[in-house]
Structure 1
Amino acid sequence: MSELLYSVAVPFKRKGKEALKESDFVLALSIDLHWFNPEQAKNILNQAEKAGLIKKEGELIMPAFDLNSVEIPTGFKPDSGAFEKKPVFERVIERMIAATGMEKRKVISLINKKQEELSKLVEIEVSALLVALENGVSVDDLIDEECAALLTPSSSS
């Protein structure tokens, strides 16, 4: 499970609610838990929405996953660098885990199988995106990001 999933689940679990106002969620992460400043907490909320971990209805947000299935480790506190932008590949894996409940090894296995089926003619990120789509996981934003990355010459690659 990802730190984002845990960070999203904690405010709901602590308050014992299935829905929270956006402002209450941000306050829980920043003021109650002292994990982030309010701006970072809003960023967490945006990332959670993009990852398909929450759904919005008016002012309320709700987890898009079964809260009861998420076991928060004792003493959990997110790593300060946990929410810096991760590579597309890692974000696809995290979304697959959150959306399907599959174990990380299973997700990676499916991606590797897809990579073999495509005779390794595409980047591993493309195979990961295809597997996510085949499993009904929302990755449209990551597709756009990966297309831009593939079309942009990089000096580091």
Structure 2
Amino acid sequence: MSDLIYSVSVPFKRKGKEVLKESEFILVLAIDLNWFNPEEAKNILNHAQRAGLVKRDGEIVTPAFDISSVEIPPGFRPGSDILLKNLEKKTLFDRIIERIIAGTGMEKRKVISLINKKQEELSKLVEIEVSAILVALEHGVAVNDLLEEEYEALVSPR
């Protein structure tokens, strides 16, 4: 799993709650754990929302995946490059993979293997992102918000 998924999971696990206020989430990452400064912690939260890992309703933050399926490695601390990685625009394919990992708890290698298998089943007649979306849907992972983006990519000239 990625540092982002672990970093998002820790505040919920640490507080023992399934719902946190935005300020609680940020304080755990910035003050309790001293992993980030408050602005960086807010950036992590924003990226997690864009990646579909959390949902926000006003000040309320809820995970968009089963937190109990995430096992934080002992001594985990996010790599110093997590902020740089999160500032880069991830491809649609990467974001779908990240969602499948978060939603199922599968390792990245297994997810990619399933996507490749789906691609072969479809005789490579569709884009790899479509195969990834199908794998996500087969595993009950919500990707509805990404469908429009994929549709636009399919109909626009490359």
TM bracket (short chain): 0.7 to 0.9
Structure 1 gap ranges (5+):
none
TM-score (norm 1): 0.76
1:109 CA displacement: 2.5
1:82 aligns with 2:82: no
Deviates further, 43-52 or 25-34: 43-52
Residue matched to 1:72: 72
**Does the aligned pair in 2 maintain the 1:54–1:63 contact within 8 Å?**
yes
| Change over 3 Å in CA distance of 1:149–1:41 after alignment to 2 | farther
CA distance in 2, matches of 1:119, 1:29: 45
Structure 2 gap ranges (5+):
none
Q: Residue 138 of structure 2 is aligned with which of 116, 123, 134? A: 134
Sequence identity of aligned pairs in percent? Answer: 71
CA distance in 2, matches of 1:42, 1:133: 30
TM-score (norm 2): 0.76
Residue matched to 1:48: 48
For this pair of structures, how many residues does the alignment match?
A: 153
SS in 2 for 1:125: helix
**Does the aligned pair in 2 maintain the 1:3–1:82 contact within 8 Å?**
no
1:132 CA displacement: 1.4
SS in 2 for 1:138: coil
**Equivalent runs, 1:14-33 vs 2, <5 Å:** 14-33=14-33
